[in-house]
Amino acid sequence: MIRSFHLFLMLLACFFCHAEDGYRLWLRYDKIGNTQILKQYQTHLHSFTFIGSSATLIAAKKELTTGLSGMLGKAVVEKQLAGSSIVIGKINEPAIKAAFSNKVPVNLGSEGFAIYTTDTKTVVITANTDVAILYGVFHFLRLLQTLQSIQQLTITSVPKIQNRILNHWDNLNRHVERGYAGISIWNWHTLPDYIDQRYIDYARANASVGINGTVLTNVNANALVLTKDYLLKVKALADVFRPYGIKVYLTARFSAPIELGGLKTADPLDAGVKEWWKKKADEIYALIPDFGGFLVKANSEGQPGPQNYGRNHADGANMLADAVAPHNGIVMWRAFVYSNETPEDRFKQAYNEFKPLDGKFRKNVLVQVKNGPIDFQPREPFSPLFGAMPQTPLMMEFQITQEYLGQATNLVYEAPMFKEVLDADTWQKGKGSSIAKVVDGSLHNYSITGIAGVANIGNDRNWTGHPFGQANWYSFGRLAWDYDLTSTQIADEWIKQTFTGSKKFVDTARKIMLSSHQTLVNYMTPLGLHHIMGTGHHYGPAPWIINAGRADWNPVYYHRADSIGIGFDRTIKGSNALAQYAPEVRKSFEDITTCPEDYLLWFHHVPWNYKMRSGRNLWDELCYRYYSGVDSIRAVQQQWNGLKGLVDDERFTQVQMLLNVQVKEAIWWRNSCLLYFQTFSKMPIHSQYEKPDQTLEYYKGLKFPFAPGN
């Protein structure tokens, strides 16, 4: 009997414990381990009052009660206003006004919130709208998770960018293009009747960092998603997401009027085509009144578009914009275009196509521009389109999924990369014309603004494959809300919420994260090398590829190594791509002595014996960067091993194994690239470095027909 009772207690304990498999992301809400801070929180946070009962406020109340009871280790009761330690409601509520003593904050807009501690030590969370209150609740819970003082809170927070959107490259068959965390989380087969808990937790996670939109389908679009059966499935997801302030968007296949409507053309100036899209938009909005609009990839990599009919991008975008405009919808038209038939440097093609169209787009069109001019490389100079289209809202497109960043086997914290781009100065209206000010609309007074991140989410239990991949989803949302946050701030928040507040763990994990991007650049594409990955799957190095079917898919197109040197000359003596930047930016890049060495081979064909700022010649500097990258990730291995016991065994072991993989892949990158480039430089790899353990022919012979995300 006693033995059975003990077994029962063990099973009961397991029922209430959480597997540390990463599913809970940064919303773990475990009991606070710091006893001093826990006691302070328990003393001050004993009850709450919610004013209002909308679906969004119900979601906010559930989050608050779950979070508080978990972190405080006891129930926090809901009660009437008098004596509550937390009061939550909209600004115009009399009780809120009274609590603020007529100091109600202004200019919060529709999404901003305020959190104040009153003279009576009551915490007040308020905003103009229900969804903004939800954001405020998540922020307050973040304060507790990161062990912040709540004694004298005076917080106001307003998002800097209006549309903060995830782009899912998910296909209807659940394959995720460039996805490394399993298949799509959208189970179209069981929708609309079966609502997976994962959909709700996805919405919670996004709302917690202020993401307010999601594009459900791949930019390489399938018209079937616009049929009635699929729209009912989309509606089911929209209904789940709505209480969390998240709008759904779809990718529109430009040829849908032909494929679905039986029309003979998709010409955007054809009256019948315009009418088809208008009726389709009406059908969607009848089902989903807050549908966000369309994302479009057109006339790029084989996708149909207006150029098929002799029209331009503005013609195509405007036709769709007119269809959704009566419903307050938007169109996000991607600027990722390049043509193999165009002899122009691929770097220049998006600018060449879109710059002449500035001012010709409808008011509800945003042109979505990748952060760099080529394709999400480990490090890219900013796209010259930013700042060059003052009459057309430009939205940023970052790639959260690590297509070119080691995929889900490499630990790479992307916030420093995002910040590097957002902080870059376009000089389009003088010094201080940052990319961030272009995107938030302040530089050119855009009426609508947006930022997109290509999602790294799949149905893996931990959502992102690599446990640290969660940090990139998190950091995208936080920077989309407030790009002034630092990479360090965001890393600290994420570590404490996702793992532990242990100082040793936080300090070590932060150090690993902040150096991880530069480490990867060093062992993959140092000094401005770019697009030298394996073709198709983009897994691993293949700088020797020369037969990919079109010139601009071949790595040799980009590195241009020869007996003289290496790098793509984009000065006036080469492709003159630098002419697309403002004069101050061009001047900095075009002079080889002032060009930042991180971008050197983006803009210059540099002799192998060119003397670098370190005093080494280019070849020796290239060797140094590749070897230091490997040394750095080996050091990360040792740093992580020193954290054993400070975090759960499950995730510790998972990261440990992935770091083993990353070290092997870093060595693979280093050896194969240096052996290949050595065939041009004819210079030795100095004896101080370990010798490559395989031949160049071995590395050339590696094949990966089933690499994920292809």
Rounded to an integer, what distance in angstroms lies between the CA atom of residue 483 and that of residue 422? 7
For 277: left if phi > 0, alpha if psi spans -120 to 50, otherwise beta; the answer is alpha
Say how far apart CA 294 and CA 256 lie, in whole Å. Answer: 13
Task: Tell me which of 353, 403, 420, 492 is the catalytic residue.
Answer: 403
Per-residue DSSP letter, 617: B
Q: In sequence order, what are the residues at sequence separation of 6 or more whose Cβ sits closer than 8 angstroms to the Cβ of residue 186?
A: 168, 170, 174, 216, 237
Q: What is the DSSP string of 441-474?
A: STTTT-SS-EEEEE----SSTTSSSSGGGHHHHH
> Catalytic residue at 375?
yes
Distance CA(211)–CA(34), nearest Å, equals 31
**Residues, the chain:** 710
Query: To which H or E segment does residue 518 belong?
Result: helix 503-524
Render the burial of 140-160: b for 16+ CB within 10 Å, e for the rest.
bbbbbbebeebeebeeebbbb
CA dist 552 and 546 (Å) reads: 10
631 among known catalytic residues: no
Task: For 66-132, give the DSSP string.
Answer: HHHHHHHSS--EE--STT-SEEEEETTSHHHHHHTTT------TTT-EEEEE-TTS-EEEEESSHHH
The answer to whether 419 and 480 are in contact (CB under 8 A) is no
Which of helix, strand or coil describes residue 353?
A: helix
Distance CA 113, CA 127 (A): 5
Write down the number of H helices and E strands in the chain. 22, 16
Contact 618, 608 (CB under 8 A): yes
* Omega before residue 192 within 30° of 0, cis: yes
- Cα(422)–Cα(478) distance, rounded to whole angstroms? 13
**What does the alpha-carbon distance between residue 317 and residue 308 come to, in Å, rounded to a whole number?**
14
- From the list 93, 283, 301, 482, the catalytic residue is 301
Of 170, 375, 397, 440, the active-site residue reads 375
Element at 637 (helix H, strand E): helix 618-641
What whole-number distance in Å separates Cα of residue 333 and Cα of residue 294?
Answer: 8
d(CA 648, CA 24) in angstroms, rounded, equals: 14
Residues 252, 277: Cα–Cα separation, whole Å: 10
Q: What residues does 425 pair with on adjacent strands?
A: 434
DSSP classification of residue 388: T
> Is residue 177 annotated as part of the catalytic site, yes or no?
no
- CA nearest 499: which of 642, 650, 638? 650
Residue with tokens 């003393």: 43
Residues designated catalytic: 301, 375, 403
